[in-house]
Amino acid sequence: MSWVYPDMESPSFRLALADLLPHLAPMSNPAPALLTRRRTLGLSLGLGALSLSLRPSAAHAELNQRDRTDIARVEALFNDIRTLEARFTQVDSNGGYAEGRLLLRRPGRLRFEYDPPTPLLIVADGTWLVVYDKEIKQVDRYPLGRTPIGVLVRDRIDFGDGLEVTEVQRDSQAFAVSLIDPAHRDDGKLTLVFTENPFEFRQWQVLDAQGINTVVSLDGIKTGGSFDPVLFTFTDPPGTTGNRHDR
């Protein structure tokens, strides 16, 4: 499996869930830089209380028993979540900023509804990750299983299945698990961040092959709800241009 980062104008798409962390590359004030299809796409939800400072990781770190125990906790947490709804705030290291609503239904379903003025809608239908830009009337489809976000909507989460945990990092309030695709080590790294007390998934971050960080954080998380299946389908509106990226 090779992760695909479908950017709007280059082969780089970065989805990340979380608060901005102190270790990220310096960012300009995100407020004036509204996210558009012609900018790097990044998702970030701000968690003001999350203070985990991640250090640069080696290509691979030896995991100890505590690490393996925490990885098992993470897998169990994800496997207990079949549906999730949350608000997200998105910031990327180029200064792009957006907010909106996230719906998740495992396996394979996602919906990112962006608040105006961001003209994007992202839908995962179980096979494709569909990115619709309402402003320029363009639809792009990417194989869901080859995007970092596809890991989170697998039917069953098992980090030993086609993935490699490279590192587990901790502080007193949170811990993070970093993953790569071992067959394509240079493609990028996905980091999942969890708070303790309560133990919750609150963020993901993607470091791409160009060294750019994208972070997405969640707030107001609700699990166990039900969603209309039509929310996870997408039909190209009349007059749109469609592109399918199979690689």
Q: What is the CATH number of the domain that holds 139?
A: 2.50.20.10
pLDDT for res 120: 95
Residue 159 in domain: yes
Q: Which two tokens stand for residue 165?
A: 């945990």
pLDDT for res 4: 46
State pTM to two decimals: 0.77
Instruction: Name the domain count of the chain.
Output: 1
Residue 153 in domain: yes
Residue 122 in domain: yes
Task: Compute CA distances 162 → 3, 78, 128, 184, 233, whole Å.
Answer: 11, 17, 19, 11, 27
Domain membership of residue 86 as a residue range:
65-237
Cα–Cα nearest to 90, from 120, 61, 70, 63: 120
pLDDT for res 154: 93
Residue 42 in domain: no
Residue 125 in domain: yes
pLDDT for res 185: 79
pLDDT for res 95: 81
Residue 10 in domain: no
Residue 37 in domain: no
Task: Compute CA distances 229 → 39, 110, 120, 125, 144, whole Å.
Answer: 30, 11, 20, 9, 17
pLDDT for res 219: 93
Mean pLDDT, the chain cut into blocks of 10 residues (247 residues total): 42 31 32 39 30 46 89 95 94 84 96 95 96 96 87 92 92 91 81 92 84 86 96 96 87
Our CA angle for 17, 19, 24, nearest 5°, is: 95
Residue 179 in domain: yes
Over its C-alpha atoms, the chain yields an Rg (Å, rounded) of: 17
Q: How far apart are CA 3 and CA 189, in angstroms?
A: 9
